[in-house]
């Protein structure tokens, strides 16, 4: 019963091999504060690697961090 409750929590992020969390598009939008169209543009442009499983887009945490690192602007 406890596991079902955890799965329905809004901030739940499943992990693959207990290492790299997986995000849905809705979770990605919330984490990056972007709209659905921006998420689609990131996928279409190849800037963000994604996986399509059963019609659902999934993103690895490490790929999101890589996207942010690639667009980092150094301060002076």
Burial of 28 from C-beta contacts in 10 A (0-12 / 13-18 / 19+): buried
Per-residue pLDDT at 17 = 57
* Whole-number average pLDDT of the chain: 84
Nearest to 32 by CA among 18, 19, 48, 15: 48
Per-residue pLDDT at 28 = 97
Residue indicated by tokens 């709209």: 35
Q: What's the pLDDT tens digit per position in 17-42?
A: 567 899 999 999 999 999 999 999 99
Query: What CATH number does domain 20-76 carry, 2.60.40, 1.10.10, 1.10.150, 1.10.3210?
Result: 1.10.10
| Domain locations in the chain as residue ranges | 20-76
Nearest to 60 by CA among 69, 49, 52, 71: 49
Is residue 13 classed as helix, strand or coil in its secondary structure?
coil
Question: If pLDDT is split at 50, 70 and 90, which confidence band does 14 have?
Answer: low
| pTM of the full structure | 0.73
Per-residue pLDDT at 76 = 82
């Amino acid at each position: 019963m406890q596991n079902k409750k955890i799965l329905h929590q809004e901030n739940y992020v499943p992990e693959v091999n207990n290492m790299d969390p997986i995000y849905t598009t809705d979770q990605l939008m919330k984490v990056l504060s972007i709209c659905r169209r921006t998420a689609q543009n990131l996928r279409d442009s190849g800037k963000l690697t994604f996986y399509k499983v059963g019609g659902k887009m999934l993103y690895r945490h490490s790929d999101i961090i890589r996207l942010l690192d690639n667009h980092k602007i150094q301060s002076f």
